[in-house]
Structure 1
Amino acid sequence: MPLTIAVNISASNLQDPQFPESVAAALARTGARPEWLELEITETAIMKEPAVAIAAIGKLSHMGVQLAIDDFGTGYSSMAYLKKLLVAKIKIDKSFVMDMNTNRNDAVIVRSLIGLGHNLGLSVVAEGVESAEVWDELKVLGCDSAQGYSMSRPIPPDKLDDWLRHSPWGFKGQ
């Protein structure tokens, strides 16, 4: 399983007509393959100038860069824009995930967002997973992956290789 590096990008990045070319140049300079890069975009960044953002996202997607909508469910995106975006993934905001075992409304929202994402052919990630119980429930709901303290606290670079080899979330023995 290849690793990807996820980078948050801002509204100003999406509004910069040279941004896709800058990303292509950085990939060429480093020798990184486009599919190794995942750019995370917030709904708010998309809504600032939707037509410009959609064009930039389209160029990046056609280059092979992976794109995800970060903090999904907290912005003001229209479902009409969601179907136009060439993204592969939505990341459900932690504000819904963290209390889904104790807050019925949060659980309904999470279940609905997982269904929406899958019905649109998108991968769904839950952010803010801080307990095994929440992760177990997310798996039952069909969530594709998760991030949060239940998986790992931040890891210093010199400890990453060991974590990847020995963590239940890593790539044992590879």
Structure 2
Amino acid sequence: MVTSILQKTGLDPQFLGIEITESIAMQDMETTIGKLERLSSMGIQISIDDFGTGFSSLYYLKKFPIHKLKISQHFVSGIATDQNDKVIVSSVIALAQSLKFKVVAEGVENEEQLVFLKQRQCDEMQGYLFCKPLPADEFGKMEMRHNVLCDA
């Protein structure tokens, strides 16, 4: 199905990212690994979403052909108040970096979280601090305004 869609749209596979939740990835790991390897060999970027909330296996984590780990907002939201969340987030970032994965923090909502994540060299962050979810047409308008302002 993915190959068919890429052919129909003409999209270069390197610009397609597919996210799979940790819990889904762990249901039938051997099948998942095979499918992810095929997608990755096409150049598609694979991310494990909500990492740390399922029943993760570090053995299979090293076998999955993934490019990014996305830290669940459940951990990110507690950075300011929960020492355990700080340790978990720091550890996941270090693990991802050691395995040469990009790491994305989900649910960043305040400056304190942003500073904490930047200090630990988190590669990417997403959340309400940056922008609330938008329909595609509104995002396009916002992007156009941003480009006009930045190019001026």
Q: Does TM, scored on the shorter chain, surpass 0.5?
A: yes
Aligned pairs for 1:98-137 (under 5 A) are 98-137=77-116
Q: Is the 8 A contact 1:74 1:93 kept in 2?
A: yes
Residue identity (%): 42
2:94 counterpart letter in structure 1: G
Shift of 1:156: 2.6
Question: Residues 21-100 of structure 1 correspond to what in structure 2 (within 5 A)?
Answer: 22-100=1-79
Partner residue, 2:121? 142
The 3-state SS of whatever aligns with 1:110 is helix
Q: How far does the alpha carbon of each residue in 1:83-124 deviate from its partner, in whole angstroms, 9 at most, with x for none? A: 011100000000000110111110000000000000000000
Unpaired segments of 5 or more residues in structure 1?
A: 1-21
Deviation readout 1:65-86 (Å, 9 max, x if unpaired): 1000000001112101000111
Q: Partners in 2 of 1:110 and 1:166 — Cα distance?
A: 34
Task: Please name the residue that 1:6 is paired with.
Answer: none
- State the alpha-carbon separation in 1 of the partners of residues 94 and 122 from structure 2: 9
1:164 Cα offset (Å): 2.4
Unaligned 5+ residue runs, structure 2? none
Structure-1-length-normalised TM-score: 0.82
**TM-score, length of structure 2 as denominator length:** 0.93
Are the aligned partners of 1:91 and 1:126 in contact in 2 as well (CA < 8 Å)? yes
CA distance in 1, matches of 2:9, 2:92: 36
Aligned partners of 1:156 and 1:43: how far apart in 2? Answer: 26
Within the alignment, does 1:160 sit opposite 2:145 as a pair?
no
Aligned counterpart, 2:151: 173
Distance 2:82 2:13 in 1: 39
The AA in structure 2 aligned to 1:95 is: H
Secondary structure at the residue paired with 1:124? strand
Q: Is contact 1:165–1:172 with CA below 8 Å preserved after alignment?
A: no
> Take 2:144 and 2:83, find their aligned partners in 1: how far apart are those partners?
37
In structure 1, what residue type is equivalent to 2:24? A
